[in-house]
Structure formats: C-alpha cells, structure tokens
Amino acid sequence: MTVERPILGVLGGTGKEGGGLVYRWVKAGYTVYIGSRTPEKARRAAAEIRERLHAPEAPVFGVANLEAAQKADVVVLAVPYAAHRSTLEAVREAVQGKILIDVTVPLRPPKVTKVWLPPAGSAALEAQEILGDDVAVVDAFQNIAHALLWSDEPLNADVLVAGKGKRNRQVVIGLVEAIGLHAWDAGPIENTPVVEGLTSVLIYVNKAYGMKHAGIRIAEGARRGEAGGGKVQS
C-alpha cells in the first residue's frame, strides 16, 4: 500500500462501531464510503455525519457494501459476527490486492463475557481463509468502545494491530493514530485470537466493576534499572 491517504470503505458503517470509525476518519480529513446491505440506510448515515460535523461538503458517501469495497483503497469490516462470512463472500472479488481491517469480534450472545473463537481460530483467520492470500487481513479496534469513538473527547486507550504483513500493519497503525488513538504492532495474524478474545474480558470487567468503557493500555512492567526491569540484581 503506497497511498498516502487511502480512500476508506467501511462495510457495516451504519452500525455503532463502524459509524464511530467513519466519524473519526471523516473528521480527520479522510474520504470514506459507508457500506451497507441497504444503500439508503448508508446514505442517511453519511448525511448524519455531515450534519454532526457541520460540514455539508465532507467527503463521506453512503453506498452498498460492494460499491464501498470497490471504491476503497483500504476496506474496513465492522459487522456483527453473524454477518461476517456472508459479507466477506459478497465482496471477495472487490477486495483482492487490498488491506481489509477486520473489526469483527466473534461473540455468542448472550454469553458475551465468555471468550468464544470460531474453528479457524479468530474472525481474522476466518476472513483470511475466505478471501485468499491476495488480501491482507489485519485486526484492529476490537477493544475500543463505540461510545468513545463518537465522542469528541481525547481518547485514552491503546489499539492492538495484528495481521498479515508488517507493512500492512503499519498502514493500519497510521489509520489508528489518525483518529487520536495509540496503536501497537501486535504481530502476525496468528496472534489475532488473543486480540479478539480480549473483548469478552473487557465486557466482563465492565460488568464486574460497574464500568462502561474499559479499554487497554500497554505499559512497561518496571523502569529500567529497577528490580524486574531487565537487569540482574546483585
């Protein structure tokens, strides 16, 4: 991917998480196509974002999922897991040669506080199987609450980025940081089960401690030179 500021297509961009990402990216100056199974719903979502930003000319457009995938340089999949496979199969040809950011978490309601992973190992690994080797599937945004994306407050959370190819992960890291979040390269696509499974852990933490928007932060365990900081203590 060599595009400095890629055009984005967000499949499922009418939902809470997908819509929050669209809002943040449009606000940051990106051109975004909102994809939906119902194009009229996508057009309404685009109009609502332009109204919210007080920017009638903002480059956000509502179209069908397939058209969003065709027009985009980077495709974002932000659908419920129940629609994961069918959406991927519908846009398979349109995403060849592109990065696909998979935001999907394989939750099984009502037991959303218990980690469940599909036979492939994760939603991202499943997506890679469906789309084939010419698509770079990268996980991101699984552990950030949609309410935070829709807010205009500074975001105090980290995002783990795991998926196919370090260069592809760097493109996604750039898109994460463009909307005010800190991103960490979490390694190859084989690490995505951990990234996706954390969502159920955070949902459990929210319920157990009366929180609403638990997230993650990466911190070094100890300062260099202190006990446990990497030096042998005499």
The whole-number pLDDT of residue 4 equals: 76
d(CA 226, CA 126): 43
Query: What is the reported pLDDT for 222?
Result: 65
What pLDDT, on the 0 to 100 scale, is given for residue 224? 57
Q: Is the CA virtual torsion 39, 43, 49, 55 positive or negative?
A: positive
* Whole-number pLDDT of residue 228: 45
- Which residue, 119, 143, 133, is CA-closest to 197? 143
Percent of the chain with pLDDT over 70: 93
- For residues 101 and 194, is the Cβ–Cβ distance under 8 A? no
Residue in 112, 99, 106, 141 with CA at minimum distance from that of residue 126: 106
Instruction: Give 178's contacts (C-beta < 8 A, 6+ positions apart).
Output: 25, 28, 30
Residues facing residue 74 across a β-bridge: 8, 99
Reported as a single tens digit per residue, the pLDDT across 180-201 is 999 999 999 999 999 999 999 9
| CA 11/CA 75 separation, integer angstroms | 7
Residue 221: band (very low, low, confident or very high) from pLDDT cuts 50, 70, 90: confident
pLDDT category of residue 225 using cuts at 50, 70 and 90:
low
**What mean pLDDT value characterizes the chain?**
93
223 pLDDT band, cuts 50/70/90, is low
Q: Which residues contact 152 (CB under 8 A, 6 or more apart)?
A: none
Cα four-point dihedral sign 130, 164, 178, 154 = positive
pLDDT at residue 80 tops 50 = yes
Q: How confident is the model at residue 155 (pLDDT cuts 50, 70, 90)?
A: confident
The per-residue pLDDT for 188 is 98
CATH class of the domain defined by 8-209: alpha beta
The residue among 80, 78, 73, 79 whose CA lies nearest residue 97 is 73
pLDDT at residue 206, as a whole number: 96
Q: What is the mean pLDDT of residues 109-127?
A: 97
- The beta strands (E) that lie in the chain are given as 8-11, 32-36, 60-64, 74-77, 99-102, 136-139, 158-163, 182-187
> Of 29-38, 62-71, 146-155, 196-205, where does mean pLDDT reach its minimum?
146-155
Compute the distance between CA of residue 36 and CA of residue 19 in angstroms, rounded to an integer: 11
- Confidence band, pLDDT 50/70/90 cuts, at residue 89: very high
Q: What is the mean pLDDT of residues 9-32?
A: 97
The residue that leads in pLDDT, 179 or 233, is: 179
pLDDT tens string 202-218:
999 999 999 999 999 99
| Strands of the 182-187 sheet, one edge to the other | 60-64, 32-36, 8-11, 74-77, 99-102, 136-139, 158-163, 182-187
